[in-house]
Amino acid sequence: MYVLESHGRCAECEKLAPCVRCQRSGRPIGRMTAYGPVCNSCQIHFVEPQKCARCSRLTKRLRRLPGAEGDAAVARVCVACAEEHRTCSSCRKHRRCDATPDGRWLCGRCATLGPSACLGCGASVARGAGGRCDRCYWTEKVRIDAQQLSPLVKQPAARQAFEDFSSWMVLNKDPKRAALSIARHVEFFVRLSALKDLPWEPDHLLKHFGTAELRKFELPVRWLRECRGLAITAGQKLEDAERRRLQAQLDSVTRSSPAYPVLEAFHARLCTRRDSGEMTTRSARMSLRPAVDFMRVNPSGRPSQRDLEQYLSGAPGQRACLSLFVRHLREVEGVDLEMPGRRVAKAPAPRRIRTEQDLRELLALPERPVDFEQRWLLLALVHFHRMSKRDAKKLLKEGQVVQEKAGYLVQLGASHYAIPDPTPGLLHQQRTN
């Protein structure tokens, strides 16, 4: 039955349609698919992958190779198995090579043609190298890459700086490494153009990049120092790092927390004192750190005296740094807080002082007395093991004294008391005599 199709197309018109993948017209037809014609360049993407007869890998690009001798079958192999490429020993290109009698592998151009002169510097290069040596090739690549990347830098001064930097990098760095890293360095000049009309000075660069970011762009900073005379000292970097750490401590507190306004006011007070020269940025950071930790004990923003004592019991070393914040709470916030009294370490007992003095006098004698060993054991028990002279004498009388390499060991039942030997080997010589 005849059916009239208003939008019907004949086979010839279907073939004249553009490729469904690349949308190019006038190309030779490689395959007709359900979606329309596909050109010969794109038809490979519409083929089902098959296994290579040698390596068994799935691939869409198969080649027909004749089988072994006497075998009429045709092997379908992948491109890698069909063309066994190697690195040419002369031009270092990965190509189809043939073995030479001396064990080298040479491509067709290097094997049949002799060396030629480099088009850039005139040096002798292998014929398969493409007419340029490695240095000229990578130098030209740096120039081309810099030309392609320069539109990313919008400001004219920064764009010119990037071009000067690329030229300087080729002269002061290996051209290959320069070509592989120039795309990473352009980010510095893109961000540098964001400064717009601000002068390129250390303060502006540190404020815009920060110490950590400048460490990331080490080579562009080196170019600024050597070619533009812009030197950023270690002191300036340290000051910027301290300022950022100070701000990061305040940012670590949630803004919706009741403690944030208190800490923000204290941070402003520290910055005022820093700008007036009363304190350094490092001292301000060390004063804000315990204040943030202390406010986390009681997030209500109104800490009590008990909260202060609880914090100092866990962090006694922060007492001096926290005193400025306690003063701020008392004077500005109206919180009644007082720093608790400092715990003074107990002085050593007078008996231990006397015993230590007796030990020093005993060791300072020019000649060892006959009862030196007994006096040493008695005083050592009193000093090192915190016992009275009466208990020490009773222990020496009832216990057993054993001499060891490191000293003495006084044993009484299951108890053992170690005593060091003040003169190793001396008492043993006296006993031998």
Range in 105-119, 169-183, 304-318, 332-346 the model is least confident about? 332-346
Q: What is the pLDDT of residues 205-221, one digit of tens each?
A: 888 888 888 888 889 98
Query: Residues 6 or more apart from 113 whose CB is under 8 A from it?
Result: 127
pLDDT of residue 428: 43
Residue 248, amino acid:
A
CA nearest to 140, candidates 127, 121, 156, 159: 121
- The arithmetic mean of pLDDT across residues 80-92, rounded, is 79
Q: Which residue has the higher pLDDT, 165 or 93?
A: 165
pLDDT of residue 343: 56
CA nearest to 303, candidates 333, 324, 323, 331: 333
Q: How many Å apart are CA 134 and CA 350, to the nearest integer?
A: 84
pLDDT of residue 162: 92
Q: How many CB atoms lie within 10 A of CB 318?
A: 19
Contact indicator for 382, 389 with CB cutoff of 8 Å:
yes
Residue 424 reports pLDDT greater than 80: no
pLDDT of residue 82: 75
Q: How many CB atoms lie within 10 A of CB 121?
A: 12
Q: How many Å apart are CA 183 and CA 146, to the nearest integer?
A: 8
CA nearest to 321, candidates 218, 261, 230, 249: 249
Q: What is the pLDDT of residues 24-57, one digit of tens each?
A: 888 888 888 888 899 998 988 888 899 888 788 8
What percent of the chain clears pLDDT 70, i.e. is strictly above it? 91
Percentages of the chain per state (helix, strand, coil), in multiples of 5? 50, 15, 35
